[in-house]
Amino acid sequence: MIFVNLKTYAEGSGQRALDLVRTLEEVATASQIKVIPVVQALDLKEAALVSKLEIWTQRIDPVAYGAHTGSILPEGVVEDGAKGTFLNHSEEKFADFEKLSSAVERAHEVGLKTLVFASDMEELKRVLGLKPTFVAYEPPEFIGSTTTSVAEAAPEVIAQAVEVARMAGVPLVVGAGIHSMADVKKSIELGAVGIAVATDIVKAADPKKELLDLMEGFK
């Protein structure tokens, strides 16, 4: 599976996100490989309307109904069509681990799947204790790179993370600079169940071509 984080890099990104969702569905249908678009909360309802893919949101807050002005309510994203949520992404990390724990709990209460990110092995072990649906280990030095990936530069890190996650019974997803068929192939060979990408697709001159290249790594 491939999680594609449709970040808002430029003006008009909301419409571009919807266009990319359509492209992702086209490629997923042709390849029969699961692709999950991950969109900002404001784009959820529109994305769910234009696509039959499983749509995720980029984050939620650990809140329930009540006085939480500005927060993203888990029930709200479910109502808009979200099936899962990223949590603790490198660009939206929880400063308080207890709040992360509460966010995972709230997500599961409303039926949202979770992919929780960790930036080092110590954090990965703590995150696994929360029993998320998936976990991702992203060493910060490779995040956002279009030239060097964790799969290329540090495959032993993936192997170690996969083993730790396996012992906890949680599937591992690989991110951090994944940008080629070879990166995907190495990640899957090492035991990951899928990959998470953003820059490689969203900033590509031809997102469809780039995604098709990544798909080759699953074969």
* Residues noted as catalytic: 89, 138
In the numeric block, which tokens belong to residue 60?
Answer: 């939620």
**CA-closest candidate to residue 77, choices 115, 42, 50, 108:** 42
Query: What is the residue whose two structure tokens read 């799969």?
Result: 151
Number of CB atoms found within 10 A of residue 131's CB: 15
DSSP state, residue 219: -
Q: What is the DSSP string of 33-47?
A: --EEEEE-GGGHHHH
Alpha carbon distance 166, 161 (integer Å): 8
Phi, psi (deg, nearest 5) at residue 202: -65, -35
Phi, psi (deg, nearest 5) at residue 181: -55, -40
Q: Looking at this protein, which amino acid is placed at residue 12?
A: G
Phi, psi (deg, nearest 5) at residue 107: -60, -50
